Chain A
Amino acid sequence: MLARWGVPGLGHVDLRRRSEKYLGENNVHLLGEETINDNNRRFFEACRTLGYRVEQFPVNVKGCQGSGLCNLGCPNAAKQGTHRVQLPAAEAAGVEVVTNCKVERIGERDCLATVTNPPFGEPSHWPEGRYRIRARAIVVAAGAVNSPALLLRSQLPARLPALGRYFTAHPALILVGEHDRPISNFYGHPKSYYCDHFVESAKFLLETCMYFPFTTAKNLIGFGAEHARLMSRMDRMQMILVLAVDPALAENRIAVDAAGDPVVHYRFTDEVMDALIESQRVAARIFFAAGCTRVHAPAGTGFFIGANEADRLEELITREAFKLGKVSISSAHLMGGCRMGTDPATSVTDAWGQVHGVPWLFVADASLFPMCSEINPYVTIMALADRVAERVRTRLPGLPAA
């Protein structure tokens, strides 16, 4: 991936060292075989049967109870995200975290922010109101949509034509196969395996997943009795998440509207559409190899494809049936918009996250990605943020020891 990114000064050895630090801190490890449910195990075995490369996901959990509700926020506080590991450590070291505080604009070594206290979330310990906060350095980490938007709203003393551009999204589909009897799927960790066999040849990844009723219903094509019948047997569902490895294009970008709110401009290329179609055929082969009797494909010419039709997937899953606006395509991971590089004409920051021409301003999140990652980006984001932290400390030698 780093070779593809081609950012001078951003090397594999350095990124790996920093990644390993966070893999340790956040307790990233492989789950034991006894916690793998049928939804995951059958995916793994089917990929092996078909000769597809398949690997187990290391996950950042401690004391996982297998609620399967990870995407809603772990109800058992087992997920070891930055909110449970790095942020508490930073607070213990003297960092002040201000909740419900929205930064509106960055000025010359300061920012304008508004604190509100809505009736949800952690109440802010700062009184409601507007603030001007002065700082020796400012690090923006608001994500691939809001970091570029914040910089676009700000009066920066530099010309940054690439700001907001080269946004990528890992366009995603949730695919469903149906077994003729219940399997274990919503009990246990939902995401244990991935298949990157097709990343180079067809530009997509497959991952195990298990979603909630509304999310599942929305991702099925159709409505009425047929749709309801499939939904009424969630305990028979096997699910696969597709992530398309989308190209970084200048025209796919974040802009801001007249009110300063972010607006995403994203066009699906033919390459991405082809990847999403082919991924459905591959996923169908996996479902059938895993024992599913029927498969639902958003690009299917009918609601179901039966196991007896498994040799006709090319004609039953077609581009013609796959229409934008009809199919639920979500974004799994938002990346880019403040991409790293050396040329201010085509990038926003240098290889250490410093905004070109603004020595006190840094970016430390997924918006730094020059292109999308070829796998889930969490650890890479943390490793990049670690580099930014090191550079800020170099620039500001008076900071207290870490």
Chain B
Amino acid sequence: MAGRSNARVPPLSERQWAFLMRVAVRIVPAVADLDAAGRSRFVAIVSKALAERPRPIQHQFGLFLGVLRWAPFLRFGSPFDRLPPEDEDTVLRWFLDAPVAKLRSGFWALRALAFMGYYGQPEVWPSLRYTPSFRGNEMLHG
């Protein structure tokens, strides 16, 4: 949990971003329905979170994306992004419960970023039936 950030270095390449967005849709299906502004907010939130991580963590995350992309080759003969959606989910479920803690942690990080990028947007909260108010007590009593 070192605290040094490296905000000036782009944390992911364009190719890695495209892959991350593809996986994010499996994690939060509604990401596929985001409009351009919503996708832009998604990218901004995730970029900021990644940029604030120490450089070694950014590097590990980039490596994990590579592992996730190519690991399915062993079982399915194709990289992750050429699999049908149901096989993609099979792969992600394996990573969720992977026998190696580092792989579980990598998937935890990816999952957390996808959730952050989507559920961190106040614009989507009404669709979750989550509508907080600064004057909640008034709403509490109708």
> Interface of A with B (CB < 8 Å)?
34-35, 37, 64-69, 75-76, 182, 184, 186-188, 212-214, 216-218, 221-225, 227-228, 231-236, 257, 259, 261-264, 323-326, 328
Instruction: Kindly identify which residue among A35, A69, A224 contacts B29, using a CB–CB cutoff of 8 Å.
Output: A224
**Cβ-defined contact, B136 with A186, below 8 A:** yes
A163 to B1, CA, bound (A): 18
Q: Is the Cβ of B133 less than 8 Å from the Cβ of A223?
A: no
A257 CA to B54 CA, complexed, in Å: 12
B102 and A325 form a contact (CB under 8 A): yes
Complex Cα distance, B136 from A64, in Å, reads 9
Check B104–A326 contact: CB distance below 8 A. yes
Contact A262 B136 (CB under 8 A): no
Give residues in B with beta carbon < 8 Å to A. 1-4, 26-30, 89, 92, 96-97, 101-105, 108, 111-112, 114-116, 118-120, 124-125, 127-141
Distance between Cα atoms of A231 and B30 in the complex (Å): 11
CB distance from A235 to the nearest CB of B (A): 4
Whether B97 lies near A187 (C-beta < 8 A) is no
> Which single member of A188, A227, A232, A259 contacts B128 (CB below 8 Å)?
A232
Q: Are A184 and B132 in contact (CB under 8 A)?
A: no
Please name the 5 residue pairs, one residue from A and one from B, whose CB atoms are nearest each other, closest first. Answer: A325-B104, A66-B137, A66-B136, A187-B136, A213-B119
Which of B27, B101, B115 has its CB near the most chain A CB atoms (within 10 A)? B115
A212 to B4: give the CA distance in the assembly, Å: 27
Which among A222, A227, A232 is the interface contact of B129 at CB below 8 angstroms? A232
CA distance A182 to B129 in the complex (A): 9
B119 partner, pick from A66, A184, A231, A323, beta carbons under 8 A: A231
B97 — which chain A residues lie within 8 A by C-beta?
Answer: 323, 326
Query: B104 to chain A: which residues have CB within 8 Å?
Result: 323-326
Contacting residues, chain B, for A186 (C-beta < 8 A): 130-132, 136
Asked whether, in the complex, the Cβ of B2 is within 8 Å of the Cβ of A257, the reply is: yes
Cβ-defined contact, A228 with B29, below 8 A: yes
Which of A35, A218, A257, A264 makes the CB contact (< 8 A) with B112? Answer: A218
**A67–B28 touching, CB < 8 Å:** no
In this complex, which of B96, B134, B136, B140 has the most chain A Cβ atoms within 10 angstroms of its Cβ?
Answer: B136
Which residues of A sit under 8 angstroms from B4, Cβ to Cβ? 259, 261
- Report B-chain residues with C-beta under 8 Å of the C-beta of A184: 140
A223 contacts B1, C-beta separation under 8 Å: no
Chain A residues contacting B3 (CB-CB under 8 Å) are: 261-262
Distance between Cα atoms of A212 and B114 in the complex (Å): 15
Q: How far is the CA of A188 from the CA of B1 in the complex (A)?
A: 34
**What are the residues of chain A within 8 A of B96 when measuring CB–CB?**
221-223, 326
12 A-B contact pairs sorted by A residue (CB < 8 Å): A37-B140, A68-B136, A184-B140, A188-B140, A218-B112, A223-B27, A223-B111, A224-B27, A227-B28, A233-B129, A323-B101, A326-B108
**Most chain A beta-carbon contacts within 10 A, residue among B96, B97, B124, B130:** B130
Shortest C-beta distance, A64 to chain B (Å), equals: 7
B141 cross-chain contacts in A, Cβ below 8 A: 34
Q: A235-B130, A263-B2 known; 18 other A-B pairs, CB under 8 Å?
A: A34-B141, A37-B140, A66-B135, A66-B139, A67-B135, A186-B136, A187-B133, A188-B137, A216-B119, A217-B119, A218-B115, A218-B116, A221-B96, A224-B26, A228-B30, A231-B128, A232-B128, A325-B101
**Nearest chain B residue, comparing its CB with the CB of A185:** B130
Cβ distance A212 to chain B, nearest Cβ, rounded Å: 8
Q: Which residues of A contact B116 (CB under 8 A)?
A: 214, 218
B residues in contact with A257, CB < 8 Å: 2
For the complex, give the distance between the alpha carbons of A23 and B33 in Å: 49
